[in-house]
């Protein structure tokens, strides 16, 4: 599932089920119906009895991006990857540390799932990195992590849409480049600091866009999703 060549807007949009109630998540999926193919399950839903949805959604023909950002000793990461992929996850995140990615790639060998390395969280800026003890800024750390993910044999990376254009030059055209922090024009940024509109993210080279609150918190989630898909389709058509 890497790369983006030939993929439609529906194959590129990932709706973040950023809710703390499994029944609410199931209701959103039912409301969105055939309009949406991909769903992201992160900590909030996973820890609210949402993990069984990975298998259920997969069996229903949906694709699940399990965003747990694994980071632990190598053996624990490997076993976690094996379990997650066994549930049917089509995408899975690990933090883009070389030893973590090596363990994940080894555990996923033979699977069709896409492993994604998380470079730098979209909620962080240079001041945050400095406070955490890093000796480089966001741009340099993202570049380093992207190169390490490419060299580790990962299926792609997760990065802010504002970093996408530069990262395409690093990872090439075949790897997935998944971008959270995507907000339709006029939407609130929330806790994201490096954001872009759907059209901007695609133009920069993103293969998949993660959109959560602008859809799931909308008065009419399906209408919100369809509006984003329409913007994405227009951007894809314009890019030729």
Q: Is residue 113 part of a domain?
A: yes
DSSP 120-161: S-TT--HHHHHHTT-SS-HHHHHHHHHHHHHHHT-SEEE--G
Predicted pLDDT at 194: 53
Residue 4, domain member (yes or no): no
- Whole-angstrom Cα distance, residue 237 to residue 93? 30
d(CA 230, CA 235) in angstroms, rounded, equals 9
| % of the chain exceeding 90 in pLDDT | 82
Residue 162 contacts residue 155 (beta carbons within 8 Å) = no
Over the range 162-197, which residues count as b (16 or more CB within 10 Å of their CB) and which as e? bbbeebbebbeeebbbbbbbbbbeebeeeebbbbbb
Tell me whether residue 92 is in a domain.
Answer: yes
Domain, as residue range, for 17: 9-239
Nearest to 84 by CA among 120, 42, 121, 135: 42
Tell me the CATH number at 184: 3.20.20.70
The reply to whether 62 belongs to the active site is no
At 2 the pLDDT is 54
1 belongs to a structural domain: no
Of 123 and 92, more confident: 92
The answer to whether residue 77 sits within a structural domain is yes
d(CA 18, CA 34): 19
Sign of CA dihedral 95, 101, 105, 106: negative
Q: Percent of the chain at pLDDT above 70?
A: 93
Q: What is the tally of structural domains in the chain?
A: 1
Q: What is the pLDDT of residues 20-41, one digit of tens each?
A: 999 999 999 999 999 999 999 9
Helix pair 22-32, 221-239: axis angle to 10 deg = 50
Banded model confidence at residue 3, pLDDT cuts 50, 70, 90: low
> Among the options 40, 62, 69, 222, which is catalytic?
69
**Has residue 195 been placed in a domain?**
yes
pLDDT of residue 162: 85
Residue 181 lies in a domain: yes
Residue 95 domain-assigned? yes
Tokens 């996850």 correspond to 89
4 pLDDT tier (thresholds 50, 70, 90): low
pLDDT score, position 1: 40
């Amino acid at each position: 599932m890497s790369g983006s060549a030939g993929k439609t807007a529906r194959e590129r949009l990932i709706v973040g089920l950023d809710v703390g109630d499994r029944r609410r998540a199931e209701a959103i999926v039912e409301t969105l119906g055939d309009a949406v193919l991909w769903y992201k399950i992160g900590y909030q839903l996973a820890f609210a009895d949402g993990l069984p949805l990975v298998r259920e959604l997969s069996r229903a023909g949906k694709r699940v991006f399990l965003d747990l950002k694994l980071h632990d000793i190598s053996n624990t990461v490997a076993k976690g990857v094996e379990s997650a992929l066994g549930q049917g996850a089509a995408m899975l995140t690990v933090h883009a540390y070389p030893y973590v990615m090596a363990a994940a790639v080894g555990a996923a060998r033979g699977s069709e799932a896409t492993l994604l390395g998380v470079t730098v969280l979209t909620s962080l800026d240079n001041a945050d990195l400095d406070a955490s003890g890093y000796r480089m800024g966001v741009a340099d750390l993202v570049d380093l992590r992207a190169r390490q993910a490419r060299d580790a044999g990962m299926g792609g990376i997760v990065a802010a849409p504002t970093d996408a254009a530069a990262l395409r030059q690093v990872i090439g055209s075949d790897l997935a480049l998944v971008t959270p922090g995507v907000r339709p024009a006029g939407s609130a940024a929330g806790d994201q600091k490096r954001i872009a509109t759907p059209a901007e993210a695609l133009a920069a080279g993103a293969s998949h866009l993660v959109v959560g609150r602008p859809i799931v918190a909308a008065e009419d989630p399906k209408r919100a999703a369809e509006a984003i898909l329409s913007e994405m389709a227009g951007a894809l058509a314009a890019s030729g």
